[in-house]
């Protein structure tokens, strides 16, 4: 109690100074959602208290990147029309019970990147004045814990009143327990975790949440290898976005988590860099060959955006990586930073069939791969082009972007990637690549061509055939040949 009194005395002195200098905030009016919105921009002003002389009808107050350490009672009572409040990147470590008194219209509250301890700050009364919040972001507040083997109880007594919330950004502790209060957030659709120290994703981890969640983000959990249970995502039957990028649980285990979503539609599955060289055991080796069993869940899902980048993939069995039940759903696919041959004699016909069915595929990212491959058999395509001497793959007409930068891919014999007529290809990046895979563009519509550190001759031989110029951007830096 004495500590709080001392804080109040100290900050009362500073408050008087800042009251005079609060006019340093920039007041502006913008047209938003068919109305004029008055904004008080107080970012990066060195403030340690909430200014009290701002216009009473402001609807947005941005106090980001200041030196706030606490929010005292009734700090915002002069701003009853406030709808959005940004307090990110301060030094907040204490909130009084009536810190948000009077903000009955507040919809968005961002207190990310502070030092607000989940166990100490959030009282049962704190959110009562702002119970109509639709977005709450308190990510990047918790420090790395010392103990990782004990349950961590989240203050559901405080959060349970936020029944209108649609977005919650919060930190993830090693062994989290989310009480029944979180289940009262029946309108929540986006759940994002940051400062992630998770060590176990069990079948009980998310049981306390409402089934309304549609987007789940759990990035960069790297404190320990995350042990998973196959039905951990079962409480979220409506998920259509899963982003576990950078969370070390191994690709094999991540793909097993998709079991509840077999034969469903999903917008995004991002399992980029869920395997890491630090995870290398006999049962889950980092050097991974994709098998039919590993793909058994993913292949049934109608997914639009798929990221399997940086996972130690070195090979794939026939009938696995490119055997989707719904290839027409795919729009974007990324395999960057792996080490497998995208086109090989044993899979060339299979991938050609795959491409022929991906009628909506917009982009392929195969950058940062390095392989050498000797083809045992010459494979021909069924196109009307002469591929009798080489292996050919016809790319989808829908393809708009190809990323092949930093790729070493030498094959014998040469593989030709054919971009057919009436294509949609507008972006090609082959920077710093060393490959004898040839790209043959039958009708050039490319708008951006990037070939840093490459051979000018490939680009020039392609583009000089064009009867009309569609190019808007060409980047040829550090090339090792001049145009002939």
The CATH number assigned to the domain holding 82 equals 3.80.10.10
Query: Does residue 24 lie within any of the structural domains?
Result: yes
Residue 43 within a domain: yes
Is 309 within the bounds of a domain? no
So what's the pLDDT on residue 468? 56
Based on the structure, what is the number of domains in the chain?
1
**Residue 69 included in any domain:** yes
Residues of the domain holding 50: 1-116
Q: Report if residue 66 sits inside a domain.
A: yes
pTM of the model: 0.89
Q: Is residue 145 part of a domain?
A: no
Q: Does residue 112 fall inside a structural domain? A: yes
pLDDT of the residue at 20 = 41
Per-position pLDDT tens, the chain of length 484: 454 444 444 444 444 444 444 458 999 999 887 888 999 999 999 999 999 999 999 999 999 999 999 999 999 999 999 999 999 999 999 999 999 999 999 999 999 999 999 999 999 999 999 999 999 999 999 999 988 888 999 999 999 999 999 999 999 999 999 999 999 999 999 999 989 999 999 999 999 999 999 999 999 999 889 999 999 999 999 999 999 999 999 999 999 999 999 999 999 999 999 999 998 988 899 999 999 999 999 999 999 999 999 999 999 999 999 999 999 999 999 999 999 888 777 788 899 999 999 999 999 999 998 776 655 554 444 444 556 556 788 999 999 999 999 988 777 777 888 999 999 999 999 888 887 777 888 888 888 888 888 665 655 665 565 555 677 777 877 766 544 3
Residue 408 lies in a domain: no
| 3-state secondary structure labels for all residues of the chain | CHHHHHHHHHHHHHHHHHHHHHHHCEEEEEEECCEEEEEEECCCCCCCCCCCCCCCCCCEEECCCCCCCEECCCCCCCCCCCCEEECCCCCCCEECCCCCCCCCCCCEEECCCCCCCCCCCCCCCCCHHHCCCCEEECCCCCCCCCCCCCCEECCHHHHCCCCCCCEEEEEECCCEECCHHHHHCCCCCEEEEEEECCCEECCCCCCCCCCCCCEEEECCCCCCCCEECCCCCCCCCCCCEEECCCCCCCHHHHHHCCHHHCCCEEEEEECCCCCCCCCCCCCCCCCEEECCCCCCCHHHCEEEEEECCCCCEEEECCCCCCCCCCHHHCCEEECCCCCCCCCCCCCHHHHHHHHHHCCCCCEEECCCCEEEEECCCCCCCCCCCCCCCCEEEECCCCCCEEECCCCEEEEECCEEEEECCCCCCCEEECCCCEECCEEEECCCCCCEEECCCCCHHHHHHHHCCCCCCCCCEEECCCCCCCCC
């Amino acid at each position: 109690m004495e500590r709080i009194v001392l804080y109040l005395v100290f900050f009362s002195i500073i408050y008087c100074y800042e009251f005079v200098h609060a006019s340093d905030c920039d007041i502006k009016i913008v047209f938003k959602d068919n109305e004029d919105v008055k904004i008080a921009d107080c970012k990066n002003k060195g403030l340690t208290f909430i200014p009290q002389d701002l216009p009473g009808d402001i609807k947005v107050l941005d106090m980001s990147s200041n030196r706030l350490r606490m929010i005292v009672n009734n700090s915002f009572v002069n701003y009853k029309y406030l709808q959005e409040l940004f307090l990110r990147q301060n030094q907040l470590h204490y909130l009084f019970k009536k810190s948000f008194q009077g903000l009955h219209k507040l919809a968005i509250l961002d207190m990310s990147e502070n030092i607000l301890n989940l166990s100490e700050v959030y009282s049962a009364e704190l959110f009562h004045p702002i119970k109509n919040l639709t977005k709450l972001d308190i990510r990047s507040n918790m420090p790395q814990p010392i103990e990782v083997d004990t349950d961590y109880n989240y203050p559901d007594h405080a959060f349970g009143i936020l029944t209108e919330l649609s977005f919650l950004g919060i930190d993830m502790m090693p062994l989290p327990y989310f009480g029944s209060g979180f289940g009262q957030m029946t309108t929540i659709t986006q759940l994002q975790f940051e400062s992630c120290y998770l060590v176990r994703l069990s079948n009980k981890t998310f049981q306390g949440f409402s089934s309304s969640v549609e987007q789940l983000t759990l990035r960069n959990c790297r404190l320990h290898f995350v042990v998973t249970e196959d039905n951990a995502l079962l409480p979220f039957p409506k998920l259509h976005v899963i982003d576990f990028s950078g969370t070390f649980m191994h690709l094999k285990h991540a793909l097993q988590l998709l079991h509840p979503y077999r034969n469903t539609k999903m917008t995004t599955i991002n399992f980029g860099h869920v395997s890491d060289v630090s995870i290398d055991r006999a049962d889950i080796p980092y050097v991974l060959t994709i098998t039919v069993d590993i793909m058994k869940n993913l292949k049934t899902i109608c997914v639009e955006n798929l990221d399997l980048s940086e996972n130690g993939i070195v090979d794939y069995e026939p009938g696995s990586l490119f055997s989707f039940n719904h290839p027409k759903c795919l729009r974007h696919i990324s395999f960057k930073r792996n080490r497998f041959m995208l086109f090989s004699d044993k899979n060339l016909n299979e991938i050609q069939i795959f491409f022929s069915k991906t009628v909506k595929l917009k982009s392929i990212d195969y950058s940062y791969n390095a392989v050498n491959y000797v083809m045992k058999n010459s494979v021909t395509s069924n196109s009307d082009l002469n591929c009798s001497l080489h292996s050919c793959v016809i790319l989808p007409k829908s393809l708009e972007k190809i990323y092949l930068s930093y790729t070493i891919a030498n094959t014998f014999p040469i593989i030709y990637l054919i971009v057919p007529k009436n294509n949609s290809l507008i972006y090609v990046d082959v920077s710093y690549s060393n490959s004898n895979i040839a790209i043959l563009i039958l009708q050039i519509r490319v708008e951006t061509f990037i070939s840093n550190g490459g051979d000018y001759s490939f680009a020039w031989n392609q583009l000089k055939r064009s009867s009309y110029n569609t190019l808007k951007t060409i980047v040829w830096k550090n090339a090792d040949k001049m145009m002939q």
